[in-house]
């Protein structure tokens, strides 16, 4: 049996490995001109797509335990933003150029661009997880879900969200960098009940 903890650990392993590779690529560019950024995007986009598919497969495997039958549709999993990926992965350069125009040092501007790149990668992996979770839960007949805290990126908004019941059609990251997990509603809690963890909500 795949537990929520082992599933989340496997997803985090994919995320950490991908962030390390992409971060190293960004840091080793040497120059951050248009041609360099285009080259970076050509390298990064396939890596991110591969990571998205890995996360989707892990998610599909986890939810098979509740009878989910939906497989991974790569076009759905990797097409979440509605914007060409090559365009998305030029945004860290825009962040860097903007920081330079505001008088920040070169090293500070590059660091800000690197942070933007990491946020984009994390969000794309989270989108893959939520899109696949929705496909899987729908295929199993599950209509409601809960958010599960991972303990890594949990802000106050995530904590509050983890106490509530949500409908499967509303599966999306809450904020950039959000890494909340997804799970079914605990046994004995009907989908008509909004609050599923009153004690945590009251803290």
Distance, CA of 162 to CA of 198 (rounded, Å) = 10
Q: What is the pLDDT of residues 38-69, one digit of tens each?
A: 999 999 999 999 999 999 999 999 999 989 89
Contact yes or no for 70/45 (Cβ under 8 A): no
Residue 192 corresponds to which tokens in the numbers above? Answer: 């008509």
Q: What is the pLDDT of residues 144-180, one digit of tens each?
A: 888 888 766 677 778 888 888 888 877 766 677 777 8
Helix H or strand E segment including 53: helix 34-63
Contact yes or no for 145/166 (Cβ under 8 A): yes
Cβ neighbours of residue 25 closer than 8 Å, sequence gap 6 or more: 40, 43, 44
Q: Judging by DSSP bridges, how do beta strands 181-184 and 144-148 pair with one another?
A: antiparallel
Q: What is the pLDDT of residue 92?
A: 97
Q: What is the pLDDT of residues 97-153, one digit of tens each?
A: 999 999 999 999 999 999 999 999 999 998 999 899 999 999 998 888 888 887 666
Distance, CA of 5 to CA of 10 (rounded, Å) = 9
Q: What is the pLDDT of residue 191?
A: 64
Residue 10 corresponds to which tokens in the numbers above? Answer: 């496997």
Cα angle 26, 27, 29; round to 5: 70
Contact yes or no for 128/76 (Cβ under 8 A): no
Which parts of the chain are beta strand (E)?
144-148, 166-167, 181-184
Q: Name the DSSP letter for residue 185.
A: P
Contact yes or no for 15/125 (Cβ under 8 A): yes
Distance, CA of 15 to CA of 30 (rounded, Å) = 25
Burial (CB count within 10 angstroms: exposed 0-12, middle 13-18, buried 19+), residue 192 = exposed
Contact yes or no for 20/28 (Cβ under 8 A): no
Three-state DSSP class for 96?
helix
């Amino acid at each position: 049996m795949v537990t929520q903890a082992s599933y989340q650990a496997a997803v985090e392993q994919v995320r950490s490995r991908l962030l390390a590779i992409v971060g190293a690529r960004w840091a080793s560019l040497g120059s951050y001109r248009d041609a360099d950024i285009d080259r970076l995007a050509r390298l990064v986009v396939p890596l991110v797509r591969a990571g998205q598919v890995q996360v989707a497969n892990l998610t599909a495997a986890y939810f098979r335990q509740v009878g989910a039958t939906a497989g991974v549709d790569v076009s759905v999993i990797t097409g979440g933003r509605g914007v060409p990926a090559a365009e998305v992965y030029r945004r860290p350069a825009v962040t860097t150029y903007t920081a330079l125009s505001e008088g920040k040092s070169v090293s500070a501007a590059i660091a800000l661009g690197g942070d933007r790149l990491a946020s984009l990668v994390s969000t794309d992996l989270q989108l893959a997880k939520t899109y696949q979770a929705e496909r899987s839960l729908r295929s199993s007949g599950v209509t409601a879900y809960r958010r599960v805290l991972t303990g890594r990126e949990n802000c106050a908004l995530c904590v509050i969200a983890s106490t509530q019941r949500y409908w499967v059609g509303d599966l999306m990251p809450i904020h950039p960098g959000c890494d909340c997990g997804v799970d079914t509603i605990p046994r004995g809690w009907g989908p008509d009940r909004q609050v599923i963890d009153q004690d945590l909500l009251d803290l």
